[in-house]
Amino acid sequence: MVALTSAAGVAPAPRRHRVRVWRGLVLGIAAAYFLIPLYAGLRFSFQDDAGHWSLYALRAIPSQIGFTGAFWLSIKLAFTTLVGTLVLMVPTTIYVHLHLPRVRRLLEFVTVLPIVIPPIVLILGVLRAAPIWLKASPYLLSLMYVILTMPFVYRSLDAGISAIDLKTLVEASRSLGANGPQTLWRVILPNLRAGILSASVLTLALVLGEFTMASLDLWTTLPVWIYQFQQTDGHIATMVSMLSLIGTWVLITVMVSLDRSESRRSRRKAEVA
């Protein structure tokens, strides 16, 4: 902040220059802090115990005990959570925006709660309160993950809805003769695509990395497996960890770029027309 200060009477030109230097410095430090650990993690995964370059960790992954099971469990949980969260949150958020504007504040408050309430305390309560048959199923985690993702999902959807004039769009669609479901399918959802997409991305990222609840519910999801396996072989564990990270990034990039090329295509179509 101090670097921002400029003495009175200094001409604008050097000040602009100084601001640019200051900004470069801040961004540089941030980049170092966020990129060096990534680089370190990657380098460690591609080393063997002697510190030499090696792909052994990569090759060894599939044959490790428990890996496949943990991997598929995480994938299954991620997608059931995604479906659950979208089915619950999308209609509710849209409906509240359209018909119950006074409930919006309440919804905002309720969806912040999962940020404030520690997941570790929440799972503590769940383990006591859930019926036995549900505790026996890994999908109890999916049900809880829907709660955990709520803040991010609601915020994404809310931002998406606020960016468009939902009420006018719906009224226009209805006045042109579309019924409720047609309006939802052809007008609301396409316009909310960006919001739904970012909600989905955040959901997947959160579930694929969740450790607290899974480990205390005693299910070996991918993060739990990695943690347990580090005692066996640190390089393999780190390699899996980095791969899961990269996998999440790739997933996000693909989804975001799909959306972008989609919107670009429709824009081009509009230009031709």
Partner 1 sequence: MSQAQANGGSSGARVELRELVRVFGRTRALDGFSLDVEPGELVALLGPSGCGKTTALRALAGFELVDHGQVLVDGHDVARVSPQDRDMGMVFQSYSLFPNMSALHNVGFGLRMRGVRSTARRDKAHELLELVGLHEHAEKYPHQLSGGQQQRVALARALAIEPRVLLLDEPLSALDAKVRTGLRDQIRSLQQRLAITTVFVTHDQEEALSMADRVCVMREGRGEQTATPAELYSRPTSAFVAHFVGVSSRVPVRRDGATVGLWGQEVTVRNADLTARDVDAVLRPEDVAIVIDPAGPASVVHKSFLGAITRVTVSVESAEVRVDVRSDMARDLNHGDRVALSVVARDVLVSPRDGRVDVEED
Partner 2 sequence: MSESGLAGDADATRGADELSAARVASGVRRWRGLRRAAAVTPFIVYVFLGLGIPILAVIDYAFRNPKGHLTLANVSTITHGTYLLGFENSILLAALTSVIPGFLGLTLAYAIATSRSPFLRRMIATASGVLANFGGINLTFMFIATLGSTGILTSWLAAIHLNPWNLGFNLYSFYGVAFVYLYFQVPLMVLVITPALGALRPAWREAASNLGASTWRFWRHIGLPVLFPSVLGGMLLLFGSSFAAYATAETLTAGTVTLAPIQIGNLLNGNAISGQENIGYAIGFGMFVVLAVTMILYGLIQRRASKWLR
The distance of closest approach from Cβ of residue 87 to partner 2 in the complex, given in angstroms and rounded to an integer, is: 9
Does the protein bind partner 2 through residue 13 (CB under 8 A)?
Answer: no
> 16 vs 269, which CB is nearer to partner 1?
16
Does the protein bind partner 2 through residue 104 (CB under 8 A)?
Answer: no
Q: Three-state SS for 43?
A: helix
Does the protein bind partner 2 through residue 1 (CB under 8 A)?
Answer: yes
Would you say 185 and 90 are in contact if contact means Cβ atoms under 8 Å apart?
no
The one among 173, 198, 200, 220 contacting partner 2 by CB under 8 A? 198
C-alpha 35: how far from chain center: 20
Residue 138 CA to residue 135 CA, distance in Å, equals 8
| Interaction partner, residue 133 (partner 1, partner 2, none; CB < 5-8 Å by kind) | none
**Residue 266, both tokens:** 């429709």
Residue 249 CA to residue 186 CA, distance in Å, equals 30
Interacting residues toward partner 1 by CB under 8 A: 6, 8-13, 15
Would you say 243 and 55 are in contact if contact means Cβ atoms under 8 Å apart?
no
The one among 60, 88, 169, 194 contacting partner 2 by CB under 8 A? 88
| Interaction partner, residue 175 (partner 1, partner 2, none; CB < 5-8 Å by kind) | none
Q: Three-state SS for 100?
A: coil
Name residue 248's amino acid: T
Does the protein bind partner 2 through residue 86 (CB under 8 A)?
Answer: no
Does the protein bind partner 2 through residue 169 (CB under 8 A)?
Answer: no
